[in-house]
A and B are shown apart, each in its own frame.
Chain A
Amino acid sequence: MTLIAPNLFYSDEHEWVRVEGNNAIIGITDYAQDALGDIVFIELPVIGDDCTQMDQVGVIESVKTVSNLYIPVSGRVVEVNEAVLENPSIVNSSPYDEGWLLKLDIYEPAELEDLKSSEEYEELISEEE
């Protein structure tokens, strides 16, 4: 059963966004990690990088396939999860928690309106399944 965390924003590319004050914490969804399978390599932007919504900023590679990471909301990278770079399988075991990828300073909070709610995302993946 695919897990969808409540109270997050979701992109069509299967990323999630948790808003904390002016920060956005970004990761990939349970659905995405399950579709990829065993993740072995992750490439992320570095602290200080400016990212524009829908930019391809990273790569998530599993044994089976490779997937691009798109930025769901524009901002400046203020923190990168070094633990997942060291041990990418954390994203498989804990996609919404320990497996977070990036923390951004949000430039344009209005962009969050482009994203889906938990309920809307659930609808999206039930269509894909």
Chain B
Amino acid sequence: MNQTTLHAEHKALGAKMVDFADWSMPVSYKGIIEEHNAVRQRAGLFDVSHMGIIDVEGTQSLQYLQYLTVNDVSRLEPFQSQYTMMLDEKGRVLDDMIITRLGARYRLVVNCSNKDKIIAWMQLHKNNFSVHLTIHDDLNILALQGPAAKSMLEPLLDTLWVGGSFNVMYAKLAGVDVLVSRTGYTGEFGYEVFVHDDDVVKLWRLFIEKGAAPVGLGARDTLRIEAGLPLYGHEIYGLVTPFDLGYGWIVKLDKGDFIGKAFLSRSSHTRKLFGIVLEEKVIPRQGTEVLHYGVVTSGTFSPSLGKSIAMFMTQRDIPNDRHVSVKVRDKAYDATIIKLPFIKKGINKDATV
């Protein structure tokens, strides 16, 4: 089983470890709810070094990525990122990812569970392009998320942070070379910091010393569900399209040819991802039936709302506030359909200033 460079740090903090896509990862340290609340109220620190980091270099990097992804990579300014997806010819989503333009190079961050598949796919299609791929097993990603993240991280930088959301910057952070990105997967203000194996323990300990709570995969899931963010293998599966997920804006049909374009051009826009909120605290997990409407893709207990919540895909024209039933262990429970997200981004915005 694979381990991140911080494995011993997680063990020392008493983390419960789980097998996640053949990686031993912390699921929680002190408890999912406590860690969740730390991110919403102050700041949490995640080791997400299991994710795949792929750099693309060469004179035809732009053309290559334009052909492989649905978003318009030519719109990226240097040190800017975009959310995008890779599809196969039949329209199946291979993965969702973030592409960042780093001067002449591009960096892709892909899901851990899809890393090998994406690398194979990218290698399969690179023969017609003058490009070179580098898989970065030597880099780690620390996510520092929450309203206090700004005051915790920015004073440690040797350069003034000037970018906004989905911008990145090379800097020294407490004397360590890093790439700082204003991205995250929690619905809170935050950063993702790319740092080399040699320096990651130092930064991990420093952020904890500054008051960030270590947060495991358990709270990463509750946070992203509250924020209505899709996850590959849950909301993203089979022939679900970016349109279905509410990410139609990432599809740029006018940018030229790309894999999946024919499928997306003729796909209907009849489905949409919705949320449900339950009266009871029983948790409608993935696969739970929403009677007459669909099937739950992700469900959890929302620590912020104190209620059980879930996401599911159904017809686009369903009115909000419609009352439905979900069937858990042969019992029906009342629920109400709502528009995503469950928690608006930057609920604690005031605290970020």
Contacts and interface: CB of A to CB of B under 8 A. Distances in A.
A63 B301 contact: yes
A56 B308 CA distance: 24
A6 B301 CA distance: 34
Contacts of B218: 37, 63-64
Given A61-B282, A63-B218, A66-B283, A40 B301 contact: yes
Contacts of B31: 37-38
B198 interface: no
A93 to B, nearest CB: 11
Nearest to B222: A63
A41 interface: yes
Interface string A48-64: 00000000000101011
Q: Name the prevailing secondary structure of the A interface residues.
A: strand
A63 B33 contact: yes
B32 A41 contact: no
Contacts of B300: 63
Contact of B27 (A41, A61, A64): A64
Contacts of B32: 37-38, 63-64
A61 B299 CA distance: 13
B117 interface: no
Contacts of A61: 281-283
Contact of A40 (B16, B27, B283, B285): B283
Interface in B287-308: 300-301, 303, 308
B302 to A, nearest CB: 9
Contacts of A37: 16, 28, 31-32, 218
B197 to A, nearest CB: 30
B329 interface: yes
Contacts of B22: none
B280 A59 contact: no
Contacts of B27: 64
Interface in A29-56: 37-38, 40-41, 43
Nearest to B300: A63
Given A63-B32, A64-B27, A41 B282 contact: yes
Contacts of A88: 281
A110 B110 CA distance: 58
A41 B222 contact: no
Nearest to A61: B283
Contacts of B16: 37
Interface string A62-103: 011010000000000000000000001000000000000000
Interface of A: 37-38, 40-41, 43, 59, 61, 63-64, 66, 88
- Lowest 7 CB-CB distances: which A-B pairs, in order? A41-B281, A40-B301, A38-B33, A63-B32, A63-B301, A41-B282, A40-B281
Interface of B: 16, 27-28, 31-33, 218, 222, 280-283, 285, 300-301, 303, 308, 329
11 contacts: A37-B31, A37-B218, A38-B31, A38-B33, A38-B301, A40-B283, A41-B282, A41-B283, A63-B33, A63-B218, A64-B27
